[in-house]
């Protein structure tokens, strides 16, 4: 059956490669990107391999909540239902902490706040699909998160790897929280997170954290990276395969349910995370009403 699949961050790496594979099998792919030139090029590339030519594209810079909400308006205007929301866009931050207008640190914004907003706002569209799925991109690096003094904004202590590892743990918390919420309200939407593997992409190439990039560890990681065909295997599996139907709240790696770090099961902290997200959303909405 032809599926309608929205992939964020589809202008490069894993997102673009997955979009091409899905389009080449006849699915309707909705591409999201932040850079107009890259989005145009990606759309052409995906369209060129698409079987039915059903490729749509939308521009939004996810470091700005006004862009996120504008993007949502456009999606809701253009699509009555969506089968899969693939929250893929992500970044490895710079040496200095960067934030949105609401003082949300950007790694967190891309990995947690925006996926949370997209999932909750698009849930009516996902509910209209027979098997609505949300896939959140986490990482094995969540195992290295430090959660002793929780600081979702990384205001007291910021460095790019702490922000990345913690945000990927928060992705798991958010996934488990939303999976439970949907289940409790009788919704058919499933929400899972996954690790794509260590994949050779542009991730971190823009980071000014030269120390990490040039370190022995950084170079070793690069040399161990897998290619993009391998990098989309688990994402593809979660998007289309029947085996996943009904599974919700899980973390996948290599097409299997895997245990998360013990920290991943802390439901109280997950609730604090959602409160933090809701406060930021409210702050944005109040500001938008006033101005
Ligand atoms: N590669 C790995 O080994 C690995 C491992 C574990 C998890 N992951 C996760 O997999 C996901 C995809 O990463 P990738 O490796 O494919 O990296 P990538 O090649 O850098 O792709 C990241 C995508 O996110 C988009 N993006 C970045 N900042 C954005 C913003 N402010 N607004 C909107 N979109 C933005 C990028 O847009 P531009 O094209 O404009 O830059 C690009 O389309 C990420 O969530 C990453 O954390 C990757």
Ligand 1: does its nearest atom lie under 6 Å from the Cβ of 137?
yes
Q: What is the DSSP letter of 219?
A: H
Q: For the chain, what is the mean pLDDT?
A: 94
Q: What is the spatial distance between Cα 77 and Cα 75, in angstroms, rounded to a whole number?
A: 5
Cβ within 8 Å of residue 107, ≥6 positions away:
90, 91, 92, 93, 154, 160, 163, 164, 167
Q: Work out the pLDDT band at 288, boundaries 50, 70, 90.
A: confident
Ligand 1: does its nearest atom lie under 6 Å from the Cβ of 199?
yes
Instruction: State pTM to two decimals.
Output: 0.96
CA 202 – ligand 1 centroid, Å = 7
Cβ within 8 Å of residue 269, ≥6 positions away:
147, 150, 173
Ligand 1: does its nearest atom lie under 6 Å from the Cβ of 203?
yes
CA 194 – ligand 1 centroid, Å = 14
Pair of tokens at residue 57:
């594209």
Closest Cα to atom 25 of ligand 1: 9
First to last CA, the chain: 45
Ligand 1: does its nearest atom lie under 6 Å from the Cβ of 115?
no
The strand order across the sheet containing 28-33 reads: 55-59, 28-33, 4-7, 84-87, 133-137, 190-195, 251-253, 256-258
The 3-state DSSP class for residue 127 equals helix
CA 186 – ligand 1 centroid, Å = 32
Closest atom, ligand 1, to C-alpha of 89: 24
Closest Cα to atom 2 of ligand 1: 199
Render pLDDT for 34-48 as a digit per residue (tens, 0 to 9): 999 999 999 999 999
CA 56 – ligand 1 centroid, Å = 19
Contact call for residues 55 and 43 (beta carbons, < 8 A)? yes
Number of alpha carbons in the 13 Å side-chain half-sphere of residue 245:
8
Closest atom, ligand 1, to C-alpha of 138: 7
The 3-state DSSP class for residue 192 equals strand
Reported as type and span, the H/E element at residue 133 is strand 133-137
CA 203 – ligand 1 centroid, Å = 6
Q: Give the pLDDT confidence score for residue 202 in this predicted structure.
A: 86
Render pLDDT for 184-217 as a digit per residue (tens, 0 to 9): 999 999 999 999 999 989 887 766 556 665 665 6
Query: Taking 90 as the threshold, does the pLDDT of residue 173 lie above it?
Result: yes
Closest Cα to atom 30 of ligand 1: 62
Render pLDDT for 2-57 as a digit per residue (tens, 0 to 9): 999 999 999 999 999 999 999 999 999 999 999 999 999 999 999 999 998 799 99
Ligand 1: does its nearest atom lie under 6 Å from the Cβ of 195?
yes
CA 59 – ligand 1 centroid, Å = 15
Q: What is the spatial distance between Cα 109 and Cα 96, in angstroms, rounded to a whole number?
A: 15
Q: What's the whole-number mean pLDDT along residues 234-247?
A: 98
Ligand 1: does its nearest atom lie under 6 Å from the Cβ of 32?
no
CA 60 – ligand 1 centroid, Å = 14
Ligand 1: does its nearest atom lie under 6 Å from the Cβ of 89?
yes
Helices (H), 50-113: 65-78, 106-108
Ligand 1: does its nearest atom lie under 6 Å from the Cβ of 39?
no
Q: Give the pLDDT confidence score for residue 62 in this predicted structure.
A: 98
């Amino acid at each position: 059956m032809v599926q309608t699949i929205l992939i964020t961050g589809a202008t490069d790496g894993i997102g673009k490669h997955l979009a091409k594979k899905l389009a080449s099998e006849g699915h309707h792919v909705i591409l999201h990107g932040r850079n107009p030139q890259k989005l145009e090029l990606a759309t052409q590339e995906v369209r060129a391999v698409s079987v039915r030519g059903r490729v749509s594209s939308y521009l939004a810079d996810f470091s700005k909540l006004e862009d996120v909400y504008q993007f949502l308006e456009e999606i809701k205007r253009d699509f009555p239902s969506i089968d899969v929301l693939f929250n893929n866009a992500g970044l490895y931050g710079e040496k200095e902490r960067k934030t949105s207008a609401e003082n949300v640190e950007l790694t967190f914004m891309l990995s947690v706040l925006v996926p949370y907003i997209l999932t909750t706002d698009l849930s009516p569209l996902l509910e209209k699909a027979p098997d609505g799925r949300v896939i959140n991109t986490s990482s094995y690096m969540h195992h290295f998160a430090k959660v002793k003094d929780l600081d979702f904004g990384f205001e007291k202590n910021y460095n790019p790897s702490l922000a990345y590892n913690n945000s990927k743990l928060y992705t798991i918390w958010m996934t488990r929280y939303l999976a439970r919420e949907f289940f409790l309200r009788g919704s058919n939407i499933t929400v899972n997170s996954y690790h794509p593997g260590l994949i050779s992409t542009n991730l971190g190439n823009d980071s000014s954290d030269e120390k990490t990039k040039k370190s022995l560890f950084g170079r070793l990681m690069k040399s161990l990276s897998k290619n993009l065909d391998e990098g989309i295997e688990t994402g593809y599996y979660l998007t289309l395969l029947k085996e996943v139907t009904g599974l919700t709240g899980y973390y996948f790696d290599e097409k299997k349910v895997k245990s998360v770090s013990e920290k991943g099961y802390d439901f109280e902290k997950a609730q604090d995370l959602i409160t933090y997200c809701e406060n930021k959303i409210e702050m944005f909405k109040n500001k938008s009403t006033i101005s």
